[in-house]
Amino acid sequence: MSLPHAILTALLEKPSSGLELTRRFDRSIGYFWSATHQQIYRELGRLEAEGHIRALPTEQPARGQKKSYEVLPAGRAELQRWTAAAQDPRPHRDTLLLRMRAAAVVGTEGIEADLRRHLTLHQRQLAEYEEIEKRDFPPGRDSAQDRLRHLVLRAGIDLETFWTQWLAHALEEFAELPGAEDG
Amino acid sequence: MSLPHAILTALLEKPSSGLELTRRFDRSIGYFWSATHQQIYRELGRLEAEGHIRALPTEQPARGQKKSYEVLPAGRAELQRWTAAAQDPRPHRDTLLLRMRAAAVVGTEGIEADLRRHLTLHQRQLAEYEEIEKRDFPPGRDSAQDRLRHLVLRAGIDLETFWTQWLAHALEEFAELPGAEDG
DNA sequence: AGGCTTTGTGCAACTAGTTGCACAACCATG
DNA sequence: CATGGTTGTGCAACTAGTTGCACAAAGCCT
């Protein structure tokens, strides 16, 4: 149950409409909590019904008209509660590692190309994060907010670094592998 | 759609009953693809209906009686197909990073204790992986299968290492943080 | 004016994963 | 031999996330 809290956080950072939220989920927030616009609109409806957010008053909030939301005190309180509450880490699910393990049994035929593709994707993502770091966290700015946000970005950078290295290593191993590994 | 393939892999490594599979998911496989016994039984039923696996013949396969499954050729072919097929990385969702970002907005009150708890959990997991590595991958054994499996375990070790370091770093930052960070 | 694309909101149906519980068989033990 | 725990299988209901599509409004192009 984290999507509503992701939305509350985003709205506290800046009141937004559904589409604006969607864009921000595609950029920064989605790096560790992705969501489609359909999910977001549905959740905005629920949050409004619960009194956690409200639509900013506009002229004519009809279908096809932009509608912005802001967080109400109850929403902020809920987010605060949720943030402080103990939570067990949710189980990871990683398809690529699963496929590697399957490849150990049914053979590596065909997987190598996809590893290379993933390597490229992770390199690209890493470059993007490093760009953001350079732009948004120049040395010197170190308010509490900046430090926390930088910490989160560092996690993203280090995770992407890990994946690029692991994939590169995996591809090296593949190069050394004997031809037939079925069975 | 990866659970059936996780099960096929596990069954190819060794034919098993539902409960045995559940145990193996709790141990090794679950480290990158977790599943409950309910999920597993449901999926075993589907895989059997599709002709990908079959129950090993036993005396009386009644309710409460152990029932083992093995993979049929069709199942192996499907796993092979799936392993080789290109797949986009699925979006990550990490609650802890989300909470950190929320904390930057609503304050860090209370989250520190949970960071410490997570640090302990990750340290424990890391120790467990390293134990497995020492036991199952002594230097010298390097068949294709061993190399691939070792690669997967290395991913686990490196990820846990990353998290312990990141959490330790985060806790250091917290120690230096000014008292009031709300707003 | 007519159609064509972009922006923006949203419903409906489906798939995957979680939670809670039921129940049979087996095994120990007082 | 009853009772109580453990092993093992499984259904049902729910929650979260995905996919596909509908449709309104506004701007652009000819």
Question: What domains can you pick out in chain A, each with its CATH number?
Answer: 3-84 (1.10.10.10), 95-176 (no CATH)
Using the predicted structure, report yes or no on whether residue B84 has a pLDDT greater than 70: yes
Average pLDDT over residues B52-75: 79
* Confidence at residue B27, expressed as pLDDT on a 0 to 100 scale: 87
* Confidence at residue B64, expressed as pLDDT on a 0 to 100 scale: 53
Using the predicted structure, report yes or no on whether residue B144 has a pLDDT greater than 90: no
pLDDT in tens, B91-118: 889 999 999 999 999 999 899 999 999 9
B69: nearest Cα among B21, B4, B25, B137: B21
Contact yes or no for A99/B83 (Cβ under 8 A): yes
* Confidence at residue A23, expressed as pLDDT on a 0 to 100 scale: 94
Nearest nucleotide over every DNA/RNA strand to the A55 CA, judged by C1': C9
* Confidence at residue A171, expressed as pLDDT on a 0 to 100 scale: 96
Share of chain A above pLDDT 70, in %: 92
CB contact under 8 A, B105 and A2: no
The whole-angstrom distance between A43's CA and the closest CA on chain B is: 17
Tokens, residue B92: 């990550």
* Confidence at residue B28, expressed as pLDDT on a 0 to 100 scale: 87
Q: Using 50, 70 and 90 to split pLDDT, how confident is the model at A161?
A: very high
* Confidence at residue A56, expressed as pLDDT on a 0 to 100 scale: 85
Tokens, residue B45: 């039923």
Contact yes or no for B78/B8 (Cβ under 8 A): yes
CB contact under 8 A, A93 and B144: no
* Confidence at residue A182, expressed as pLDDT on a 0 to 100 scale: 45
CB contact under 8 A, A105 and B155: no
Positive/negative CA dihedral, B31, B37, B38, B44: positive
Angstrom distance (rounded) from CA A118 to CA A122: 6
Tokens, residue B4: 């059936």
Any idea which residue has 């279908």 for tokens? A63
Q: Of B38 and A145, which is predicted with more confidence?
A: B38
Chain B, 121-180: which have a CB under 8 Å from a chain A CB?
Answer: 121, 144-145, 147-149, 151-152, 154-156, 158-159, 162, 165-166, 169-170, 173, 177-178
* Confidence at residue A65, expressed as pLDDT on a 0 to 100 scale: 65
Share of chain A above pLDDT 90, in %: 77
CB contact under 8 A, A177 and B147: yes
Chain B residues in contact with A158 by the CB 8 A cut-off are 162, 165-166
Quickly give B7 CA vs C2 C1' distance in Å: 58
- Strands (DSSP E) along B113-173, which ranges? none
Chain B, 50-109: which have a CB under 8 Å from a chain A CB?
Answer: 76, 79-80, 82-87, 89-109
Quickly give B63 CA vs C28 C1' distance in Å: 22
Q: Is A13 on the interface with B (CB under 8 A)?
A: yes
Cα A101-A106-A112 angle, rounded to 5 deg: 70
pLDDT in tens, A56-108: 876 544 445 678 999 999 999 999 999 999 999 988 899 999 999 999 999 99
pLDDT in tens, A28-69: 898 899 999 999 999 999 999 999 999 987 654 444 567 899
CB contact under 8 A, A155 and B166: yes
Angstrom distance (rounded) from CA A157 to CA A126: 6
Contact yes or no for B3/B33 (Cβ under 8 A): yes
Q: What count of other Cβ atoms lies within 10 Å of the Cβ of residue B50?
A: 13
Using the predicted structure, report yes or no on whether residue B151 has a pLDDT greater than 50: yes
* Confidence at residue B58, expressed as pLDDT on a 0 to 100 scale: 63
| Protein CB footprint (7 Å) on chain C nucleotides | 7-12, 15-21, 23-26
What average pLDDT does the structure give for chain A?
90
